[in-house]
């Protein structure tokens, strides 16, 4: 296809595709899907080889959020039966992080529900960052605490944070349909504050909320303009008790096309498969590694992911390798351009609207497959292990 050849050439040159070209990727047929994956895979391998960066989420404070984000199980008015707890102590958070690091994670993503941190909250998180870094040499830490006030990003950077995550989630035009308690501009402002403080900016999206193709293009082009070092791509986990619980709009093929489009628009940044990959990509997850160079290991914020051991087996079986702590994630031109902290790009639970921990036991037997096109509600499980519980985390 001439389209794909053009997009590969542009990706290797870091040239922005046109909106029409990006829309055409989303409009390709299932018959052309492997060609799309192969083309985007050339761009991914050019900038990132066959390395896969592992990130691990620690949910520092779960539930009881005053914001009304429709996708989130921690939102105001949510009736989802999720774990609810206040701030983890630094030592407890460090222990939770250690499980993910032992499983091969390179970055720990510290997430807390809420509109944004108070100055006291920043102190708490700073103590947690120091505890994790004191006990784990070479670890990267990303914070995801909501909207930042003036000076807070600088304080997190001084405490040792490498990155800050705050997702745009959807297009500016449709943002008010998803959230009313803050604005799209508020989110952009926080990403810019992180950048200005010398933190590596991580910002991504959630697909599957009923958006149009044009909305996906809008948000990804905005992320390119913001120059985020890392772009987490979440696929909506429709959790019962949230306004979007009935939004089952994604297929594995659709998810792969979205990831390919993101790679073409953001060729040289860390593209991370975040929440929902197990629910929507399912057995097609290995193909997604040809598009994204980063994933979360284990569980998410309030829902469970597949076993950490299964993640590692998948990476190896697909012919990829786990990125080591001695390897720099971003291409050299992004490191030297001052886009954050060099190897410290992107972000975490950060990227996901879910998060957590888990045991190293073998994965449970797979449930019977649902008929094609049926919602896979059987794949959505509320997290009951890891941070905030007495059970071992999934890593």
Residues labelled as active-site residues? 65, 69, 72, 109, 142, 202, 272
| C-alpha to C-alpha distance for 342 and 56, rounded to whole angstroms | 19
Q: Is 248 exposed, middle or buried (0-12, 13-18, 19+ CB in 10 A)?
A: middle
The tokens for 122 are 């920043």
The tokens for 49 are 């080889």
Nearest to 19 by CA among 226, 212, 218: 218
Nearest to 241 by CA among 112, 380, 371, 349: 380
The tokens for 246 are 């009935």
Please list the residues that pair with 169 across neighbouring strands. 205
| Count of C-beta atoms within a 10 Å radius of residue 338 | 10
| C-alpha to C-alpha distance for 354 and 234, rounded to whole angstroms | 9
The tokens for 206 are 């959630």
Q: Give the H/E segment covering residue 124.
A: helix 119-135
| Count of C-beta atoms within a 10 Å radius of residue 293 | 26
**What is the residue-wise DSSP string for 298-320?**
S--SSB--S-HHHHHHHHHHTT-
- Contact between 358 and 394 (Cβ < 8 Å): yes
The tokens for 375 are 């919602």
| C-alpha to C-alpha distance for 89 and 198, rounded to whole angstroms | 26
């Amino acid at each position: 296809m001439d389209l794909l050849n053009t997009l590969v050439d542009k990706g290797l040159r870091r040239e922005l595709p046109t909106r029409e070209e990006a829309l055409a990727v989303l409009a390709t047929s299932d018959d052309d899907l492997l060609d799309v994956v192969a083309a985007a895979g050339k761009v991914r391998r050019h900038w990132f080889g066959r390395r896969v960066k592992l990130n691990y989420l620690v949910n520092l404070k779960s539930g009881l959020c005053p914001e009304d984000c429709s996708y989130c199980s921690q939102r105001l008015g949510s009736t989802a039966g999720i774990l609810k707890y206040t701030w983890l102590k630094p030592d407890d958070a460090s222990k939770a992080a250690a499980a993910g690091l032992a499983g091969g994670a390179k970055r720990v993503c510290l997430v807390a529900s809420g509109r944004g941190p108070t100055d006291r909250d920043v102190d708490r998180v700073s103590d947690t960052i120091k505890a994790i870094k004191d006990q784990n040499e070479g670890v990267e830490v990303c914070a995801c605490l909501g909207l930042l006030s003036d000076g807070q990003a600088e304080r997190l950077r001084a405490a040792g944070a490498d990155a800050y995550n705050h997702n745009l989630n959807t297009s500016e035009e449709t943002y008010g349909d998803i959230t009313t308690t803050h604005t799209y501009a508020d989110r952009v402002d926080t990403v810019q504050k992180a950048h200005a403080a010398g933190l590596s900016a991580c910002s991504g999206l959630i697909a599957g909320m009923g958006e149009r193709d044009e909305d996906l293009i809008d948000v990804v082009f905005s992320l390119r303009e913001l120059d985020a070092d890392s772009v987490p791509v979440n696929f909506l986990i429709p959790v019962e008790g949230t306004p979007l619980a009935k939004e089952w709009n994604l297929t594995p093929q659709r998810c792969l096309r979205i990831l390919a489009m993101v790679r073409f628009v953001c060729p040289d940044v860390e593209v991370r498969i975040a929440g929902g990959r197990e629910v929507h990509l399912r057995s097609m997850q290995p193909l997604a590694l040809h598009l994204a160079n980063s994933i979360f290991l284990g569980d998410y914020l309030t829902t469970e992911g597949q076993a950490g051991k299964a993640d590692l087996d998948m990476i190896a079986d697909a012919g990829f390798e786990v990125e080591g702590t001695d390897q720099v994630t971003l291409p050299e031109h992004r490191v030297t351009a001052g886009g954050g902290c060099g190897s410290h790009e992107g972000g975490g639970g950060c990227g996901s609207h879910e998060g957590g921990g888990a045991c190293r036991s073998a994965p449970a037997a797979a449930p019977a497959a649902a008929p094609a096109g049926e919602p896979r509600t059987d794949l959505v499980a509320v997290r009951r292990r890891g941070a905030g519980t007495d059970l071992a985390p999934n890593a």
